[in-house]
Amino acid sequence: MSSNADLHARRLAATPRGVGVLGDFFVERAENSLLWDAEGRRFIDFAAGIAVLNTGHRHPKITAAVAAQLDAFSHTCYQVVPYEGYVKLAETLNGIVPIDGARKTAFFTTGAEAVENAIKIARAATGRSGVIAFSGAFHGRTMMGMALTGKVNPYKLNFGPMPADVYHAPYPIPLHGVSVDDSLKALQTLFKADIDPKRVAAIILEPVQGEGGFYVAPKEFMAGLRRICDEHGILLIADEIQTGFARTGKTFAMEHYDVKPDLMTMAKSLAGGFPLSAVTGRAELMDAPAPGGLGGTYAGSPLAIAAALAVLEVIEEEKLNERADRLGAALKEKLNSLKGAVPQIADVRGLGFMVAVEFNKAGGDEPDADFAKKVQVEALKRGLILLTCGVYSNVIRFLAPLTIDDATFAEALDVLEAALKA
């Protein structure tokens, strides 16, 4: 068996530095919220493949569904020989998404691919080209995904020029001095200074920003966006790639709002670790592209489709929405209780179990990325995997599986407390 050091040396020699890697250890096996490295060391996984494993590593129901599909067939390309699973999953998502009217769904492979296709659909449906996204947004690493993403380092460095007709407005973050009114006024400024609203196909946003720092879109902001879209014939796209599938205490984060999007993008925990993404939207919009305009060789992989159908059953059977609320409340209570001992804690926030803690220099409002990194490193030494995020890299986000058992969760909170105090 290779050691972590040997594998790390091989990785450096064989793979490019542009693929950043958090740790210098290599996973050997995993189960629910735990994984073990090549040397047998145990870790509690509070990253979950960056929000991919809401149902945990190797959930038995999902594993069984994929095994059964593998015994039947693994691939045909849906556009060549279709299969019932694709249709069944589309019907299921059409029935549960918070979108008005008749709905249709198309499947792809990655989140970035879903975003790209949502923009294609919006442009085809409206005959317009402009797209508006927000500062701090993350929508993928493809060219359009990078253009929409509202963070330069590291996602846009040395990769320009970006696709045209993409604009950004500030995301409302009161902690950073940006109000809802500021953000909505900035859109009106865009319409006067940069692009006629009649040329805007879509406004895209994450209901809770992921990479941007887990900032929750205020309800009045979402309502304001809906009003602007309705006034100008603009489509509202909700990027639910990181927020979806019970992470926020609802199957979709948009269920926390009184307004409905026109299109939604999904991926990550949709298929419990298998590559699958989706765009669901109003039927007349989804039908705008001509036959052949949507698809992909691996889009809607039969194995991933089988996994996704099982994921949706697990969410319902194990009441993961309710569990997300309970776990998130306990985590926020723990973090808030540490504010006195850890003066760098500037904010604790989140919906459900999509929780983050933001750090500033003690006694001030200057972002403290160094402290966030030190906490991450200290936690990793103690066997807890955490991820940082935020435009200033001063936020730690928590993405443990919703299926984590209570004993492991309690252990993780103890490790987190020790890392914060250390």
Distance of alpha carbon 414 from alpha carbon 338, whole angstroms: 12
**Amino acid code (one letter) for 321:** N
Q: Which residue has the tokens 């991919």?
A: 52
Q: What is the pLDDT of residue 108?
A: 98
Q: Buried b / exposed e across 218-244, counting CB within 10 Å, b at 16+?
A: beebbebbbebbeebebbbbbbbbbbb
Q: What is the pLDDT of residue 363?
A: 85
Question: For residue 229, what are its two tokens?
Answer: 């879209």
Q: Could you confirm whether domain 62-317 is CATH 3.40.640.10?
A: yes
* Nearest residue to 98 via CA among 271, 320, 252, 244: 252
Distance of alpha carbon 21 from alpha carbon 11, whole angstroms: 10
Question: For residue 7, what are its two tokens?
Answer: 């594998």
Question: For residue 331, what are its two tokens?
Answer: 């985590």
Distance of alpha carbon 275 from alpha carbon 27, whole angstroms: 19
Which segments of the chain belong to CATH 3.90.1150.10? 4-58+319-421
Q: Distances in Å between the alpha carbon of 174 and those of 37, 135, 157, 288, 296?
A: 41, 14, 28, 38, 41
| CA quadruple 22, 26, 28, 34: dihedral sign | negative
Tell if the pTM clears 0.85, that is, is over it: yes
In contact, 1 and 37? CB cutoff 8 Å: no
In contact, 184 and 128? CB cutoff 8 Å: no
Torsion angles phi and psi, residue 65, rounded to 5? -65, -40
94 CB contacts (<8 Å, ≥6 apart)? 103, 104, 105, 280
* Nearest residue to 285 via CA among 114, 104, 97: 104
Say how many residues make up the chain. Answer: 422
Q: What is the pLDDT of residue 206?
A: 98
| CA quadruple 117, 122, 123, 125: dihedral sign | positive
Angle ∠(111,165,140) on CA atoms, nearest 5: 15
Q: What is the pLDDT of residue 23?
A: 86
The stretches in the chain having pLDDT less than 50 are: none
Q: What is the pLDDT of residue 139?
A: 97
H-helix or E-strand spanning residue 418 = helix 406-421
Q: What is the pLDDT of residue 160?
A: 87
CATH architecture of 4-58+319-421: Alpha-Beta Complex (3.90)
Question: For residue 72, what are its two tokens?
Answer: 């039947």
Which segments of the chain belong to CATH 3.40.640.10? 62-317
Distance of alpha carbon 123 from alpha carbon 234, whole angstroms: 10
